[in-house]
Structure 1
Amino acid sequence: MEQLSLLHGDVISAIIALKAQAGLDLQIIGSGNLIQTLQAASLIDEYNVWTFPVLLGQGKRLFSAAAKPSALRLVRSQVSTSGVVMSTYVPDGDVRPGSFLSTEPSQKELARRKKMANEAW
């Protein structure tokens, strides 16, 4: 049976105390405000993000512009039969600058460049 705890006082101190106890994992489900507080204090060990294949327009941001920049590492993902992508990330230190550029162009890119050169004015 799950044990529910109502937190009182300073939430950071309360979560640190709960994490120090033996027992089941602590989970946050649907609390955009609490997740931002815990992320800023580096108290989140794992992020479970479910991406649903729908576009609904504007919504509430999970992380505010003031969120502490940090890298995440994908540790597992799964796609449901309805197309929901269930991804699990863990904190992975500071954000490291990088690029999506490949050092060598792919065969498809080389063919595209050749085609563009042949079609040049």
Structure 2
Amino acid sequence: MRRLIVSTFASLDGIMQAPGGPEEDPTGGFTLGGWMFGYADESMDISASGFDGKDREVVLGRRTYEIFEAYWPYQPDDHPIAKTLNAAKKYVASRTLTKLHWNNSILLHGDVVSAIIALKAQPGADLQVIGSGNLIQTLQAASLIDEYNVWTFPVVLGRGKRLFSETVKPSALRLVRSQVSTTGVVMNTYVPGGDIQPGSFPSAEPSEKELVRRKKMTNGMW
């Protein structure tokens, strides 16, 4: 079975909306598009983290597909990222699109979870999700993601579309690779780590003050 890999840019507070430019996605009144600008350096291996789709088949949500479709086919033929993305096979999850115009693009029909399960079972290259926040949340809830590449930029945005919402499925992750760029971007790779194992540090019997505090919480007064 081939792997499903997710790669995304995020702010320190988990926002992934419009990292590339102000016009990328201003929906919801978001005015900070282009927040990753100025943080690039030579240590950032775009290809190793799957952001260019090299040697993989790409899976995109509808909004990310439309952003990419309007940009990458119009870049110079020798642009390395355009070259790999334009050539890659692309699967698009959408309830509204009926026709795709970017070459090598295939529309996923019906339930996206079932479609991805079927794709993972097929032989071929690993599947690569780029951006596509809503799709990531759907696939995370279905426990279909095998690897997360999250590049966290040293910015706090305060509002915008988040990588994970309050409806996320609680789960543990295991860090398998980590690197920090000279500009402070933390490039981490995680794999699923099973269920979260809650616990507490050993301590003496709770103090009287602690018992009062707990009672206040129980009564909704804390």
> CA RMSD for the aligned pairs?
2.0
| Higher strand residue share | 2
CA shift at 1:7, angstroms?
1.0
When normalised by structure 1's length, the TM-score is: 0.75
1:73 maps to 2:73: no
Q: Percent identity?
A: 80
1:97-108 alignment to 2 at 5 Å?
A: 97-98=198-199
Instruction: Please give the secondary structure, in 2, of the residue aligned with 1:88.
Output: strand
Question: Which region of structure 1 is more displaced relative to structure 2, 14-23 or 55-64?
Answer: 55-64
Tell me how far apart the structure 2 counterparts of residues 40 and 76 of structure 1 sit (CA, whole Å): 23
Q: Aligned to 2:115, which of 14, 19, 31?
A: 14
Query: Paired residue for 2:90?
Result: 4
The structure with the largest alpha-carbon Rg is 1
1:25-104 alignment to 2 at 5 Å?
A: 25-98=126-199
Change (3 A) 1:96 1:78: same
Tell me how far apart the structure 2 counterparts of residues 56 and 63 of structure 1 sit (CA, whole Å): 15
Structure 1 residue runs without a partner (length 5+): 102-121
Aligned length: 102
Tell me how far apart the structure 1 counterparts of residues 142 and 113 of structure 2 sit (CA, whole Å): 7
CA shift at 1:61, angstroms?
1.9
Tell me how far apart the structure 1 counterparts of residues 114 and 126 of structure 2 sit (CA, whole Å): 17
CA shift at 1:55, angstroms?
2.2
Tell me how far apart the structure 1 counterparts of residues 119 and 134 of structure 2 sit (CA, whole Å): 19
Stretches (4+) displaced over 3 A = none
Task: Compare relative contact order (CA 8 Å, sep 6+) and give the higher one, 1 or 2.
Answer: 2
